[in-house]
Amino acid sequence: MTTRTAPSGQPDLAPVAGRPFGIYIHVPFCATRCGYCDFNTYTPTELGGSNPEGWLAALRVELRMAAARVGAVPVRTVFVGGGTPSLLGSAGLAAVLDAVRDNFELAAGVEVTTEANPESTSPEFFAALRKAGYTRVSLGMQSVAPHVLAVLDRTHSPGRALAAAAEARTAGFEHVNIDLIYGTPGESDDDLRRSVDAAVHAGVDHVSGYALVVEDGTALARRVRRGEIAAPDDDVLAQRYELLDTHLSEAGFEWYEVSNWSRPGGECRHNLGYWDGGEWWGAGPGAHGFLGATRWWNIKHPNAYAQALADGLVPVADFEELDPQARHLEDVMLRLRLRRGLACGDLTAGERARLAGLVADGLVDAAGERVVLTDRGRLLADGVVRTLLD
């Protein structure tokens, strides 16, 4: 894998015919910063004069540049993430989707998703989003236990995410996702059970469940380092994952990716594109994109991002060109996380030789010419990938 850095050169960004194409848009604004978050987000005091109106103007410029490079490729999925996209309000999010429509052709049946913080939503918000053309909403709930939310520095009340999910369903959203985090210090098995039950009873058709990770540089990492709270325990995380999977399975959800469960037809098509060889343009400060053999990531700070666009540049901070070996490694790593796994024929001779040991250890099933993680293999997915690729 070779890497070139901007501004010494900018990448040639062109899609490959036949691959699914989507657009990711990053909204970098948050009212407050959660203690575990290391995403490219900014609170009002950190923005240095940047504001949503200036961000949207710059985004429109980037989308025009993107359309000129991508050409007439239909957009199958749009995902607005962050940050907190719902801070833009329904009018702001409608303007974001209009900016996409102004520059790209949306495919028939396009999936259009936005993330939302429950506290910045309302019945009127969801109704306006649905009218604007959004088809899916993802709500950050994390937990219904107040003491767990307190450790995570989440500001919403435990019941607000559930009310927001019901409001979204009433507004006509067929696809509603709730995010959960498990393994937070102080969380009990019962806390997680109640969170899963609440999500199911809210009528959502998709649940994402993520093990808490203590990222360097976050407030949570500083608290762990000072000994105020314990770091997540790997054995506890595995136990909680099994609890989550069991409860969701009993409620009619199936895992389709290691950290994602849905009712039939509720899979997030945009995220499937990431795992299954699709391409996407990442727009907005710090957004990542992937076209052809090129992965790139944008300038992070909204002011510097906007200035690059004002100077006529695609706002790329850095990029890398993936050689065939690197692309193969990524394909194996990502597709093995999916319930449908990957074809045995896609593996090299050396990888197929190592496959037998993983089957014997009960970590993968290679029947039917596909390699699929077993339940135990899902708990050790990263190790399975390392063994297979070594």
Confidence grade of residue 223 (pLDDT, cut at 50, 70, 90): confident
Do 239 and 203 meet the contact criterion of CB atoms below 8 Å apart? no
* Token duo for residue 171: 């507004």
- Looking at CATH, the fold of the domain delimited by 324-389 is given as Arc Repressor Mutant, subunit A (1.10.10)
Confidence at residue 3, expressed as pLDDT on a 0 to 100 scale: 44
Confidence at residue 36, expressed as pLDDT on a 0 to 100 scale: 67
Q: Does domain 21-276 have CATH number 3.20.20.70?
A: yes
Confidence grade of residue 5 (pLDDT, cut at 50, 70, 90): very low
What burial class does residue 4 get, using C-beta atoms within 10 Å of its C-beta: 0-12 exposed, 13-18 middle, 19+ buried?
middle
Of 134 and 49, the structure prediction assigns the larger pLDDT to: 134
Q: Report the mean per-residue pLDDT for the chain.
A: 89
Compute the C-alpha angle 321/327/331, nearest 5°.
145
The predicted-structure confidence for 330-386, as pLDDT tens digits, reads as follows 999 999 999 999 999 899 999 999 999 999 999 999 988 899 999 999 999 999 999
What H or E segment, with its residue span, contains residue 70? helix 52-70
What burial class does residue 68 get, using C-beta atoms within 10 Å of its C-beta: 0-12 exposed, 13-18 middle, 19+ buried?
exposed
Confidence at residue 2, expressed as pLDDT on a 0 to 100 scale: 45
The predicted-structure confidence for 15-62, as pLDDT tens digits, reads as follows 666 688 999 999 998 767 676 666 777 776 667 666 889 999 999 999
Mean pLDDT of 194-214: 92
Confidence at residue 76, expressed as pLDDT on a 0 to 100 scale: 97
* Token duo for residue 210: 């993520």
Do 39 and 83 meet the contact criterion of CB atoms below 8 Å apart? yes
CA 318 and chain centroid, separation: 21
* Token duo for residue 158: 């435990």
* Token duo for residue 335: 């597709």
Percent of the chain residues topping a pLDDT of 70: 92
CA dihedral (188, 189, 195, 200) in degrees, to 10, reads 180
The predicted-structure confidence for 142-187, as pLDDT tens digits, reads as follows 899 988 888 888 766 778 899 999 999 999 999 999 999 999 889 9
Other CB atoms within 10 Å distance of the CB of residue 9 = 10
- Separation between Cα atoms, residue 380 and residue 373, nearest integer Å: 9
Residue partners of 227: CB distance under 8 A and separation at least 6: none
The residues spanned by each domain of the chain are 21-276, 324-389
Mean pLDDT of 233-247: 93
Confidence at residue 198, expressed as pLDDT on a 0 to 100 scale: 94
With H, G, I as helix, E, B as strand and everything else as coil, classify residue 281. strand
